[in-house]
Amino acid sequence: MPRHRLLRSALHGLLLQAAQDAGVTVALGSEVVSAHPEGTLILADGTRLSADLAVAADSVGSVIPDRLGIGGTVRRYDDGIIRRLADRRDLGPGWDKTLDIWLLGKSRLRALYSPCSPSQCYLCLMSAVSDDIGARIPLETDYWTDAFPMLAGVIRNGQDNARYDRYGRIDRVSWSKGRVAIVGDAAHAMPSSLGRSASAGLLTAVRLAEAVEEHGRIEDALAEWERTNRPDIEQVQAKATHVALARSLSRSEIPDFGKIEHEIQN
């Protein structure tokens, strides 16, 4: 199956343009510290913003569901990933394809190389949380280049803003309260094993807009939105979790890649 990647900055640029064209004002650095069910957000500087519908899309560290009293389960798993972009222009021909390399010896590591523009590639370096060196930031370049010498050029040539994100999953008791909707990872984070969590968030956000357009009362729209979208999202979460646990680097057995690939396809 062909895979295509695009830079997040390109996607963000398109979304920003569309939002501004629709009359949205973007106020960077506006930290939300609390929310009220009547559709009010409270910022760190004390500003109160009220709307017909407030949308919380503040990701896995989201404070808003807790402030609203929306409980849920937050799970953390035993693997994590360092993601970074690197300059790939020195690699030469033959590097226009995605490579997914697993090292399953004494060290258990994974490197995913994927070109995402003529000059840049995406590098995903995976290790168990218990691997003190593999999970270390800033990146231990000697450790990673010893493991994946064929990628040494791009490992050494990467941007320095790398971070290690641990696999996790969030299941909320509800995706909304009153006039506040919880969207994206804040509502339904999942391991990145299928590469589908961002699209799940985008999809539910579009469906939220459609539901609000369709229903007169915001509360009705939110209830219908969750009822019709949640089962599909939970299915993707379950599959992503299953694949993440089956391939886990922190397990002592070698994953059955053929079986897992079959499960991903079906």
Residue 59 DSSP code: -
Residue, CB closest to ligand FAD:
184
**What is the DSSP track for 193-251?**
GGS-HHHHHHHHHHHHHHHHHH-SSHHHHHHHHHHHHHHHHHHHHHHHHHHHHHT-TTS
User: Phi, psi (5° rounding) for residue 28?
Assistant: -70, 160
Q: How far is the CB of 217 from ligand FAD (least distance, A)?
A: 26
Q: Which of 197, 201, 195 has the alpha carbon at shortest distance from 264?
A: 195
Examine residue 66 and tell whether it contacts ligand FAD (CB under 6 A). Answer: no
Examine residue 83 and tell whether it contacts ligand FAD (CB under 6 A). Answer: yes
Quote the tokens at residue 250: 């922190």
Helix H segments across the chain?
A: 8-21, 64-68, 141-147, 152-156, 185-188, 197-214, 218-246, 257-265
Q: How far is the CB of 193 from ligand FAD (least distance, A)?
A: 9
Choose the binding region for ligand FAD from 53-61, 69-77, 91-99, 102-110 (rule: CB under 6 A): 53-61
Task: Convert residues 148-187 into a mask of x (bound to ligand FAD by CB under 6 A) and - (unbound).
Answer: -----------------x------------------xxx-
Comparing CB distances to ligand FAD, the nearer of 211 and 233 is 233
Comparing CB distances to ligand FAD, the nearer of 171 and 215 is 171
For ligand FAD, the binding residue among 120, 192, 229, 248 (CB under 6 A) is 192
Residues that bind ligand FAD (CB under 6 A): 31-32, 57-59, 61, 63, 81, 83, 165, 184-186, 192, 195-199, 201
